[in-house]
Amino acid sequence: MGSHAGNGYFGFGPYRLNPAARVLRRGDDLLAIGSRAFDILAALVQNHGRVLSHGELMAFAWPGLHVETSNIRVQMTHLRREIGCGENGNRYIVSVAGRGYSFVAPVIWEEASEPEDRYASLSCHQACCNGSDGATTTSFPPRLSHPIGRDESISKLSQMVAERRFVTVVGAGGVGKTTLAILVAHALHMFDHACFVDLGMIDDQTAVLGAVASALEIPFSASDAIGDIIGQLSPRSTLVILDNCEHVIDAVAEIVGPLLRRTASAHILATSREAFRLPGEAVYLLRPLGVPAHPGRLTAAQALLWPAIQLFVERAVDSGYLESLGDEEAATIAAICRRLDGNPLAIELVASRMGPYGLDRVAELLDNQLSLRWRGSRYANPRHQTAEAMMDWSYALLSDMDQRVFRQLSVFPGEFSVDAALAVMEDDDFEQADIIKSIGNLIDKSLLSLHPGMGPGHLKLSGIAKTYAAFKLLASGKRALIDQRQSLYHDQVPQECSASMVGSWDTGQAIQLQAS
């Protein structure tokens, strides 16, 4: 192993690693990856270019303990995800068949001008003992900047988590579920320990237990993993955040029950695009940011009172947009935010193009496929880097029947009734009961929303979901047929369909669907 003084760091890519202070930074941001993953990374970096065996890595991460080799694989998967190994062509750690792992990226050593903050990576237990003002662990995400328009959500969810042992934050993709959960965990002071489990990169139901064990930093035992986890949680008051559960929801449900039954003071805060529907679950529905109902009547000052418009303007300025905000521009921005249904991620992605495109062009391209592929933060989770990736994630979790119904509902420009939905699908060998079931599934999975209206309840696809579904329908080759059925229904029931046409653009603009 290379020998270096403690007051310095190894640099690779955008990262700086100080093994002595146990600190990893990406640029100026402190990364919390967990003590086991940190030990493995430090060993690999300090021995860059050399292959380290499973045994050598276990000796670094679990000194004096005998653990199963599967623990190395679990930690390596977690570590590679945290440092973006394999993303955008970046190669840091490679697996050498039959031998072990090697760090292959260029590494430099630099002396630090001043000592690194050794207390930045304290475990939750140490932080609490030293008077920390919130729960944190070495694997827990750092405190985030305060999001616009979420004060009430933070307050209400904090109260729910304090009073109930199992709470699920449910909402559409990009609405801010993860951010809210992290903020609540930092705001609460009642827990001795907090654990964050990111399930977003796990594609196998059987890997959920291993991910939870890894986040708790305990060796994974296939024989009694749930017992080991319960044993770790039982002695103290713990908040476990299970993030991005929707694609492994059955496996997570099998863990939640035993954890609640066999521990006395563990609380679970889950985030998902659908509820678990388990006994004892309290659901917090996270709504989009507030948008004005009639954007064409707003002054600029009035528009900036709305959280969605505040967020849009902030991100537009960040993108280099320096034009003044008058009443006319405010009305257009309000219409865009309403078209995006106040979804924070969608707003950020669209507003990030204000600098290079300008307001008029952004509005013009909003329903173009190009807008689905506008990229956001390069450090964002891959499924949150574009609106298309966000929707791909949800779409892939649907059954074939639900996907077909989802696509065909995109022909409605605004709200529509169940009867109207049945009419455009009646000739596809669908049973009415199956269509209604799929509509219910889409509501449960936060892709379709119920809107109050005159007469029967009306449904609506959100802006991004509708644009995405429309292009999926176009690709399926059935767009013209479904349009024809919708027109026929419009002729038969003109009053209802006239009402359903309201809502695409409150300013009266109609944006042409374009394939690009």
pLDDT tens readout for residues 452-481: 655 566 888 877 888 899 888 888 887 666
What's the mean pLDDT in 51-69?
Answer: 81
pLDDT above 50: residue 280:
yes
Q: What local confidence, expressed as pLDDT, does residue 490 receive?
A: 56
Nearest alpha carbon to residue 428 among 371, 466, 485, 388: 485
For 106, residues 6+ apart whose C-beta sits below 8 A from its C-beta are 12
More confident residue, 143 or 314: 314
Q: Which pLDDT band holds residue 393 (cuts at 50, 70, 90)?
A: confident
Of 60-64, 466-470, 481-485, least confident by mean pLDDT is 481-485
Q: Which pLDDT band holds residue 427 (cuts at 50, 70, 90)?
A: low
Nearest alpha carbon to residue 141 among 98, 187, 198: 198
The CATH code of domain 399-462+471-500 reads 1.10.10.10
For 297, residues 6+ apart whose C-beta sits below 8 A from its C-beta are 331
Q: Give the rounded percent of residues in the chain with a pLDDT score beyond 90.
A: 31
CA distance 60 to 305: 54
More confident residue, 20 or 490: 20
CA distance 61 to 217: 10
pLDDT above 80: residue 65:
no
Q: What local confidence, expressed as pLDDT, does residue 131 receive?
A: 33
Q: What local confidence, expressed as pLDDT, does residue 134 receive?
A: 37
Angle CA(244)–CA(245)–CA(251) in degrees, nearest 5? 150
Please answer whether residues 206 and 251 qualify as being in contact, where contact means their C-beta atoms are separated by less than 8 angstroms.
yes
Q: What local confidence, expressed as pLDDT, does residue 197 receive?
A: 92
More confident residue, 486 or 30: 30
Q: What local confidence, expressed as pLDDT, does residue 283 receive?
A: 97
Q: Where in the chain is the domain with CATH 1.10.10.10?
A: 8-117, 399-462+471-500
Q: What local confidence, expressed as pLDDT, does residue 2 receive?
A: 47
Encode pLDDT of 398-413 as tens digits.
Answer: 999 999 999 989 888 7
The CATH code of domain 8-117 reads 1.10.10.10
How many Cβ atoms are within 10 Å of 399's Cβ, its own excluded?
11
Element (H, E) at 233: helix 225-233
More confident residue, 123 or 149: 149
Of 12-26, 72-86, 260-274, 374-388, least confident by mean pLDDT is 374-388
What's the mean pLDDT in 175-180?
Answer: 93
pLDDT above 50: residue 394:
yes
More confident residue, 272 or 3: 272
Q: What local confidence, expressed as pLDDT, does residue 510 receive?
A: 32
What's the mean pLDDT in 429-436?
Answer: 84
Q: What local confidence, expressed as pLDDT, does residue 288 receive?
A: 92
Asked if CATH classification 3.40.50.300 holds for the domain at 122-285, the reply, yes or no, is: yes
More confident residue, 380 or 441: 441
Three-state secondary structure call for residue 74: helix
Q: What local confidence, expressed as pLDDT, does residue 168 receive?
A: 97
What's the mean pLDDT in 46-64?
Answer: 88
pLDDT above 50: residue 70:
yes
What's the mean pLDDT in 253-282?
Answer: 93
Average pLDDT, the chain: 80
Q: What local confidence, expressed as pLDDT, does residue 508 receive?
A: 33
Q: What local confidence, expressed as pLDDT, does residue 221 receive?
A: 74
* Strand partners of residue 30: 25
Q: What local confidence, expressed as pLDDT, does residue 220 receive?
A: 74
Of 156-160, 308-312, 512-516, least confident by mean pLDDT is 512-516
What DSSP string describes 62-103?
A: STT----THHHHHHHHHHHHHTTTTGGG---EEEETTTEEEE
Please answer whether residues 311 and 344 qualify as being in contact, where contact means their C-beta atoms are separated by less than 8 angstroms.
yes
Q: What local confidence, expressed as pLDDT, does residue 166 receive?
A: 96
What's the mean pLDDT in 104-109?
Answer: 91
pLDDT above 90: residue 287:
yes
Q: What local confidence, expressed as pLDDT, does residue 1 receive?
A: 45
Q: Give the rounded percent of residues in the chain with a pLDDT score beyond 70.
A: 81
pLDDT above 60: residue 320:
yes
What's the mean pLDDT in 51-74?
Answer: 80
CA distance 316 to 348: 8
For 155, residues 6+ apart whose C-beta sits below 8 A from its C-beta are none
Q: What local confidence, expressed as pLDDT, does residue 513 receive?
A: 32
Distances (CA, A) of 143 to 78, 170, 178, 425: 20, 21, 12, 48
Q: What local confidence, expressed as pLDDT, does residue 400 receive?
A: 92
Q: Where in the chain is the domain with CATH 3.40.50.300?
A: 122-285
pLDDT above 90: residue 224:
no
CA distance 67 to 62: 8
pLDDT above 70: residue 82:
yes
Q: What local confidence, expressed as pLDDT, does residue 336 receive?
A: 92
What's the mean pLDDT in 215-237?
Answer: 82
